Structure 1
Amino acid sequence: MQLENHEFLVSDRKELLQLDRIAALLRDSYWAQNRPVEIIEASIANSICFGVYDKSVQIGFARVVTDLVTVYYLCDVIIDEAYRGRGLGKVLVEAITNDERFARLHGLLVTADAHGLYEQYGFVRDPERTLRRKRAE
């Protein structure tokens, strides 16, 4: 899947991913600032990943963890701070939610501050039914 939006490219081709750029983006996030590079690399290997590119530089990232039959978990959605405010987060989430592989699956995600973005793409808040178990440190 590739989608060109004017000068930007959204792609799920893993060979385009730039581990150093992804690690830098995640270091600036509130949810993964301490995630080791080897964990990031393993998570990429075990997920369907999407990158956003300005020419040859990766400026955005998202991962989808799924069984491709019943459910997907959308995570690590991030756009480089210098590129925010241009609608690239919307382009990225739209590319993922419109992807045929996920069309008939139940989608999940967790966010502390971007509810409005995801609600535009059919996600709804469900505090009554959601439980979470954190991983052991």
Structure 2
Amino acid sequence: MSNDTDDIDISTDRDKIDLAYCYGFIAESYWAGGRTRGEFDRSVEMSFPVGAYCDGRQVGFARVVSDQIAIAYVADVFVDPRYRRRGIAARMLETLHTHPELLRVKRWMLATNDMQPLYRLHGYEDLDDLMMMRVDEDAQRRDPLR
């Protein structure tokens, strides 16, 4: 596969998300083993999701849990192994960081056992071996949501 992502569509349209496909991946992950399909569906419903698609098929997913002002927690980030190393996770992160309803969020948190180098490229700093945080100092200067 090429390294470009011209053929990858990144979308925050929750109706496009293939919940069965995403749950299949999440259920096998180190971070969400034991989560039921109902719990996964509810977690997506209560979040700001983003998907990556190629030729109409889902190839990546991420979501953010947030109060839309003080804190955002990035969760369940994955890219199909056949599509990795093409910048897809980075594009999904950027889409979430610039989501119109999340522009006022100052502190972004996440937990990862293995992807610290990717997140550091996007402004996250290690808090410990698992937790990372990104502080958006410009968040409070942006127009309020209400």
Q: Deviations over 1:37-91 (max 9, x none)?
A: 1110010111110011112111111110000111100010000111112221111
Q: Determine the structure 1 residue equivalent to 2:109.
A: 108
**C-alpha distance in 2, partners of 1:66/1:22?**
20
- 1:8-41 alpha-carbon deviations (Å, 9 max, x no partner): 1111111101111111121332111321111100
TM-score (norm 2): 0.79
Asked if 2 retains the 8 angstrom alpha-carbon contact of 1:25 and 1:79, the reply is no
Q: What TM-score results when the alignment is normalised by the length of structure 1?
A: 0.83
CA distance 1:91–1:8, shift in 2 (3 Å)? same
Q: SS in structure 2 opposite 1:118?
A: helix
Q: Residue in 2 aligned with 1:52?
A: 52
SS in 1 for 2:125: coil
4+ long deviations beyond 6 Å? none
Question: In the alignment, which residue of structure 1 is the partner of 2:120?
Answer: 119
Aligned to 2:83: 83
Separation in 2, partners of 1:50, 1:38: 19
> What fraction of aligned residue pairs are identical, expressed as a percent?
28
Unaligned runs of 5+ in 1: 131-137
1:19 partner amino acid = L
Aligned to 2:137: none
How far, CA to CA, are the matches of 1:21 and 1:59 in structure 2? 9
Show the counterpart of 1:95.
95
In structure 2, how many angstroms separate the alpha carbons of the residues matched to 1:73 and 1:109?
Answer: 6
1:56-75 maps to which residues of 2 (within 5 A)? 56-75=56-75
Describe the SS at the equivalent of 2:85: coil
RMSD: 1.5
CA shift, 1:114, in A, is: 0.6
**Distance in 1 between residues matched to 2:79 and 2:22, nearest whole Å:** 10
Q: What count of residue pairs does the alignment treat as equivalent?
A: 124
Asked if the contact 1:9/1:54 (under 8 Å) is kept, the reply is yes
Q: Which residue of 2 aligns with 1:6?
A: 6
Letter in 1 for 2:73: Y
